[in-house]
Amino acid sequence: MTTAISCPVQTRLYSRGRVTNQDFAYDDLAVQLREHPDAIAWLDLREPSAADLAAVAAEYGLHPLAIEDALADHERPKLDRYPDHLFVNVYAVSVPRPQEKPHKVEISAFVTKRVLITVHKGEGDVTILTDRWDREADTELSASGGINFLLYGLFDTVVDSQYAAARQIDEAMDSIEDAMLGEGGAPRPARMKGFALRRTLAQLRRAVAPMEDVVAEILRPDGDLVDDNLRPYYRDVEDHAERALESIEHSLTRVTELLDADLNEQSNILNDITRKLAAWAAIIAVPTALTGYFGQNLPYPGFQQTWGYVQSMVLIVLAGGSLYFYLKKRGWL
């Protein structure tokens, strides 16, 4: 007897890649599979409780460690093999704006022989996934792929979202670069955008970096999960995962180099200002020394004479002016 579950569910029954029934109750899933021995099914659970997943685990023989991972938040992307099923954890991502925190939907999936059970945590639009499956309904892949057709659609949708986010940030880099490479160093708002973009890329990289290994695990030569018909499609997903990571790494290196270049420019400006202040201090020190000398209470040539005053002023102007032109020639002023 099937145990009822309390979380929102979505269900679909597929026969040779076509939907033959959908949106039926969880209690009817086992019945549908018995009545259609050649069919496969998709069961989606949104934010299930421990009791909900325990009921599903008892029905479909899911491993306790996989259930524990599905209940935990922020698990790293991975693929684990168990005797009767696979457990997959991946992240679909989107970037509302390049400087904002990426929106990540964590999806855990149990891949059994006849049922793909997905668990998504938080807000996520699974119609993107179902639309992806529907577009392939009339292809040879859907007719012969079985449960792997659904798993391929899940991977392809997730990796496409990651690649689109990586491309979006890469395109936004141009405006950031123009703002940060202006003469005299970048203004503070441009630098803040650069730091925000680097933080976004670092968060995105954590979701994208393991995906290539996850797909490669599916394609292991000693595994029997992917046949020759499906292998080129998974290779394509693996290639997109690699390109998404390369794009993120390139953007991360690019923005880091921009921030370092801006830091160097700011340092050069500070050195230039310091050098100018030192040069002016040297110019001011000369008349200060001369006036200090002539201000001593000792007789000197021209003491208490008009020509003595003129003499001191001429010395000040000549000494200070000579030092100014010397420093100007050296490029210190």
Indicate the pLDDT class of residue 293, thresholds 50, 70 and 90: low
What is the Cα–Cα distance from 20 to 41, expressed in whole angstroms?
A: 10
Mean pLDDT, rounded, of the chain? 82
Closest CA to 260 of 198, 167, 323, 175: 198
More confident: 90 or 16: 90
For residues 11-23, average pLDDT: 87
Phi/psi for 258 (5° steps) reads -65, -45
Question: Are residues 323 and 317 in contact, defined by beta-carbon separation less than 8 angstroms?
Answer: no
Determine the Cα angle at 169 with ends 168 and 171, to 5°: 70
More confident: 78 or 140: 78
Indicate the pLDDT class of residue 73, thresholds 50, 70 and 90: confident
pLDDT value, residue 184:
59
Closest CA to 237 of 160, 170, 167: 160
Domain boundaries, the chain: 9-265, 273-329
CA distances (Å), 32 to each of 11, 27, 39, 40, in order? 11, 10, 9, 9
For residues 284-292, average pLDDT: 72
Helix (H) or strand (E) holding 239: helix 231-294
pTM, two decimal places = 0.75
Closest CA to 124 of 103, 110, 109: 103
pLDDT value, residue 185:
63
pLDDT value, residue 328:
76
End-to-end CA distance of the chain: 89
More confident: 44 or 271: 44
Indicate the pLDDT class of residue 284, thresholds 50, 70 and 90: confident
Residues in Cβ contact with 99 at an 8 Å cutoff, skipping those fewer than 6 apart: 193, 196, 197, 200
Indicate the pLDDT class of residue 110, thresholds 50, 70 and 90: very high
Q: Where are the beta strands (DSSP E) in the chain?
A: 9-15, 18-22, 40-46, 78-81, 86-94, 103-111, 115-121
For the stretch 248-268, pLDDT in tens is: 898 888 888 777 777 777 777
pLDDT at 2 over 60: no
More confident: 16 or 187: 16
Q: What is the DSSP letter of 12?
A: E
CATH number for the segment(s) 9-265? 3.30.460.20
More confident: 266 or 130: 130
Lowest mean pLDDT among 237-246, 254-263, 264-273: 264-273
Question: Are residues 201 and 251 in contact, defined by beta-carbon separation less than 8 angstroms?
Answer: yes
pLDDT value, residue 89:
93
